[in-house]
Structure 1
């Protein structure tokens, strides 16, 4: 394996698209505005306070209704907090002076944005990728090292781990992000294409987990494992049989890993390891270049910067959890309980099975 290299900085030169103002209004934007306004406990309690400032008596029905609404919003927020704590447990201690982040497929796309984000914080970052970044080196990326490594081969992953521990220290955060896509109909896929997709998108996670998890278990402050899957792992799509199958395998792998870490027979230190599952919709990266989103309002394209911000936020909190963007990705599982006739209507209306018709091959991110 080649010696580690400094990861070069990436500065996006993509032009801002010329779109009308209403094209930027999405259901996710509306939901975010509502969550931070009328559905926020602080704002909800301002309503009865405003009524009192207008000299409404305590006995007035409007005052009663506003108090009941504010109490309901507050109770719902508290129940959400309680549910999160019961589901994922207490947070682990994060010490950024000691954390070492390993990102697979970090030379481009989402992995590149995550690497740059942690680099700007001064965190030690190791990127495992088979290709080098394209941009010139800059001062903002001194904390990021590139290790030439094919994560589909466990021998190379093990050698990379030894180099990382020698250069940066024991890894504490593993972000499994490497991926590739064929985008061809099932009957057009060659055995080599299928093997490449499964090895890169699925088998590599087994390799990195078996290599890095023992180190996370021995760390007194534990560690965090991030699994970057896809909403397609839950619903599938035409012309994406190999990709969707691999992502569905990742969702099952992550669930099984979480169960093993929580079981009574779990190895020592398992209680300090946190797991984060990421199931995004269509990403605005080179991996799906040429794919047109069926509905920009209901299913907007997720920018890598936006998704990276959510991943970093959850990792910062030191908790387990799930990250699903855009909004529909959180509720897409509901389709599975509907009659199949209704599922067919929903798939036709969403256009999910027509999205790959304009696919130009994309740019592989491994």
Structure 2
């Protein structure tokens, strides 16, 4: 690990032409994670067919019906089989019947879709031949404004995706671009609110402009895009899918991420309320909540929890893996929740633990020591110039701290 912070890409937008970070070579045990273990168990020991073989094998060995081993394995097989039977029933009760999907009639709108998770989703949907619109502030306003041939400009169609320059935090601009999308592609049937920005700064150092900007992009944009989306679907009676991209930080915030975590908690709660409303009078509209842990995107590119056990429990998840899960759920016409890795599905239960235990776990995971402010790093750089020792560039685990970048003005 370098002694100082290495240059990092701007972290105020999820949009980037690179969909994931280039990972350095990792030791073999880095791929051994809790998710991998659970996946193996679900397809072996906790599969109904395999579990049913256990008591059958004991009977083949002439084990009596009253033997403890036969009774235990039979009970285990029954429990596993019941879980597999009841799980789809549970989903049906929770999210209703699946809506019918005809990809020829679907129009997908993705915010923040130039890279990261949004970029992966745009690529997958485009490969299916679906009309895809990407709304992103990083799309060049004009062809002349493109910095290189790899960039895209407003209104340009490339590889089955139509790109629109849009600051989704600006209500009037979002309203105008939405009308253009409907005119160009038709009525959207899938809306994926994905775009987000982040400030890794202590609460007292946040400027009002930064606070408002982050809340407008991360939270208000969900409201101002979902409203016309749902209004169009309800007026026509057609089905659709609304995807809300939140974060595991909505349940467990982190130091120096007060506004970001609050914005994600807000959209999570909004999703829950909206799902309850739609279930009553518009069951043909499905809602999907995406609450992943750390993705291999540039938004939190410098955050690295060190150690085998931390990587085992909370590995960095590929954006492509999450995108595939989302597309699969949309393809089935289902509503639900997508949470990867495994701990993200259980993190809310941490709140029931004693507060002291929660504190110890947070200290062990290092979740509150991963971010440094731009002002502190500037102070550290000044100290370097005067020959003083700088201790602010790494956390206590030796991890280079994340730098907060200034917001870009339109």
TM value normalised by structure 2: 0.79
Q: Which residue of 2 aligns with 1:197?
A: 214
**Residues 168 and 221 of structure 2 are in contact (CA less than 8 Å); yes or no, is this contact kept in structure 1?**
yes
Q: Does 1:288 align with 2:295?
A: no
Distance (Å, rounded) in 2 between the aligned partners of 1:177 and 1:13: 15
2-side partners of 1:348 and 1:135: how far apart?
Answer: 46
Give runs of aligned pairs for residues 265-284 of structure 1, distance below 5 A: 266=281, 270-284=282-296
Deviation at 1:338, TM superposition (A): 2.2
Give SS of 1:101's match. strand
Alignment partner, residue 6 of structure 2: none
What's the CA shift string for 1:149-198, capped at 9, x where partnerless? 11112222222222112221110000000100011111221111111111
| Preserved contact between residue 247 and residue 291 of structure 2 (Cα < 8 Å) | yes
Over 3 Å counting, the alpha-carbon distance change for 1:110 and 1:135 in structure 2 is farther
Matched, 1:169 2:186: yes
- More displaced 10-residue stretch of structure 1: 254-263 or 117-126: 254-263
Q: Which of the residues 140, 143, 147 maps onto 2:164? A: 147
* Matched-pair contact (CA < 8 Å) for 1:287–1:363: no
Task: Choose from 355, 361, 369 the match for 1:340.
Answer: 355
User: How far has the Cα of 1:143 moved from its partner?
Assistant: 1.8
Q: Does 1:114 align with 2:121?
A: yes
Q: In the alignment, is residue 99 of structure 1 matched against residue 106 of structure 2? A: yes
Are residues 1:159 and 2:176 paired? yes
Q: Which one of the candidate residues 82, 85, 99 is aligned to 1:78?
A: 85
Q: Using the alignment, how far apart are the partners of 2:54 and 2:346 within structure 1?
A: 31
Structure-2 separation of matches of 1:15 and 1:151: 28
- Where does residue 47 of structure 2 map in the other structure? 40
1:67 aligns with 2:74: yes
Q: Distance in 2 between matches of 1:169 and 1:297?
A: 45
* SS of equivalent to 2:356: helix
Query: What's the offset of the Cα at 1:51?
Result: 4.8
Question: What's the offset of the Cα at 1:291?
Answer: 1.1
Shift of 1:55: 5.2
d(CA) in 1 for partners of 2:71, 2:222? 54
Structure showing greater radius of gyration is 2
Q: 1:259, 1:191 → 2: CA distance?
A: 33
Q: Distance in 2 between matches of 1:95 and 1:331?
A: 34
Offset, 1:225? 0.3
Q: How many residues align?
A: 351
* Distance across 2 between alignment mates of 1:285 and 1:28: 19
State the alpha-carbon separation in 2 of the partners of residues 146 and 313 from structure 1: 24
- Partners in 1 of 2:151 and 2:360 — Cα distance? 50
Deviation for aligned residue 1:238: 0.3
Moved more, 83-92 or 151-160: 151-160
Query: What TM-score do you get using the length of structure 1 for normalisation?
Result: 0.88
Superposition pairs of residues 305-320 of structure 1, within 5 angstroms = 305-320=320-335
Report the CA distance between 1:282 and its aligned residue. 1.1
Q: Larger deviation: 276-285 or 62-71?
A: 62-71
Q: Distance in 2 between matches of 1:198 and 1:177?
A: 14
Tell me, yes or no, if the aligned pair for 1:230 and 1:280 is still in contact at 8 Å.
yes
Residue of structure 1 in register with 2:343 after alignment: 328
Q: What is the deviation of 1:301? A: 0.9
Write the distance in 1 (CA, Å) between the matches of 2:405 and 2:85: 43
The 8 Å contact of residues 20 and 297 in structure 2, kept in 1 or not, is answered as no
- Among residues 303, 312, 335, which one is paired with 2:318 in the alignment? 303
C-alpha separation between the residues in 2 aligned to 1:254 and 1:302? 23
Q: Tell me by how many angstroms 1:69 deviates.
A: 2.1
In the other structure, the counterpart of 2:367 is 352
Q: CA deviation at 1:63?
A: 4.6
Q: Counterpart of 1:3?
A: none
| Shift in alpha-carbon separation, 1:291–1:362, aligned structure 2, 3 A | farther
Gaps of 5+ in 2: 1-15, 141-147, 373-400
Measured in 2, the distance between the counterparts of 1:13 and 1:202 equals 24
Deviates more, 1:171-180 or 1:67-76: 67-76
SS of residue in 1 equivalent to 2:303: coil
